[in-house]
Each structure stands twice: as structure tokens, then as C-alpha cells.
Amino acid sequence: MFLAVLAAAGCGRSQPVRATVPPAPVPGVYAEQGIASWYGVPFHGRRAANGEVYDMNQPTAAHRTLPFGSMVRVSNLDNGRQTEVRVTDRGPFVEGRIIDLSFAAARAVDMVGAGIARVRLELLSAGRAPAGAGNFTVQVGAFTQRDNAERLREQLRARYDPVYIQDFDAPNGYFYRVRVGRVSSQQGAERLAAQLASRERVRTFVVRLDETP
């Protein structure tokens, strides 16, 4: 999956700001529209976030909040081609992108050459966990230098709790992700993300917290 140098974190003590929060994903009802990207080498053969070995030739995808095992129909809005993928990974952590497809899935919807495409996602099944329930956090930063991550954490700790750093060994470098909060619903995490973006001027990504494989 593609990585960004900035991301988000969340759970604060101050009063939340008003925000429009999307409904919890429900199979057969939930749909999402935005930009898809795809990832292959050098992630091929490495562990995905769900513990499986990532095979770019299988129809899988990375999504920030849907439970592992969720089945999603992906429609390329530019050419009408469709494919179905299983969520096995977390990402993408790039502003404006909603899903990272495997090479096989990207080829199925004819977006390999372009690298990105406008897509519509339809949730077919939510895996083993309810799609909107669980624990969520907000990622506010991802740095290659731990000192920078520590600096952001200290800046936020006076107003939010918890604020923590998660190490991530990526093929393109070692990253220190700064995350805020542990929220028991996606809607609550989205509200926290909006608060952080408005008050702290950071880019935010709501992420489902998964148990370590």
C-alpha cells in the first residue's frame, strides 16, 4: 500500500466540534466512492496486516476501517469494469484515497497503467466482525525519524489521551505512526478526526484497531 508522511490520531478531552459522520457500514447498504490505488512489488511476499502473506496475484485489498475478511465489490467509474476483493490489509494512508487494490484486482478493473481510478465500493459481507463496531483510532502522522513522531506526540498529549507511536517496518523504510485515541465506534472516531483536523491542523485517517496476528 502507498504510504504518506502525514496521517492522523485521536481521542480528546476538549469539546468535540460538529461534523457530518457517515453511517456504520452495513452489507447491501454501505457504499463508498473515491480514488483507488494499487500495490504490488515490493509488498508482494510480505505479511499483510491480517497476518497473511500478501500475494499481489490474488483479489485482495487494503482498507482503513472495514473488518478483515470483508468482501467488497469495486466498480471502476471510468470504464464500468467490476471485481470483488477480500480485505486483508490496512491502508491507503494517502489523502483522498479510499482503497488499495492488489495487482490482480487492479488488472481486473483495468487501472494498472493509470495507477489510480475513480471507484465505487459496495460492501457485500463484513467478515467476522460488525462493520461499524470495534475499536478505532485516528492517525495524525507517519515519520521516518522517531524524534519527529515524539515531538508531535508531546504536542498533543496535553489535550488528548492516549497519544501513542506505532512502529511500522515498510518495504520503503521504517515509519513511526502517531495515533490518538481508542474509540468504540467508527462514528465517534470520525468525530474525533474532524476535531483534530480543525483544531490541530493535521491530516487525519480513521483506522480500525486490529488485534496483532
Which CATH number do you get for residue 99? 2.40.40.10
Residue 13 lies in a domain: no
Higher pLDDT, 207 or 7: 207
Q: Which domain holds residue 67?
A: 31-126
Query: Residues 95, 172: one domain?
Result: no
Query: Residues 46, 96: one domain?
Result: yes
Separation in Å, CA 73 to CA 76, 81, 113, 124, 175? 10, 10, 21, 7, 31
Predicted local distance difference test score (pLDDT) of residue 132: 78
Query: Residues 121, 54: one domain?
Result: yes
Rounded to an integer, what distance in angstroms lies between the CA atom of residue 166 and that of residue 175? 8
Residue 49 lies in a domain: yes
Residue 2 lies in a domain: no
Instruction: Determine the average pLDDT of the residues in 42-66.
Output: 96
Instruction: Determine the average pLDDT of the residues in 34-45.
Output: 96
- pLDDT digit string, tens, across residues 176-185: 999 999 999 9
Query: Residues 119, 173: one domain?
Result: no
Query: Residues 99, 151: one domain?
Result: no
Predicted local distance difference test score (pLDDT) of residue 13: 34
Q: What percent of the chain has pLDDT over 70?
A: 85
β pairing state of 82-89 and 60-62: parallel
Predicted local distance difference test score (pLDDT) of residue 171: 86
Residue 24 lies in a domain: no
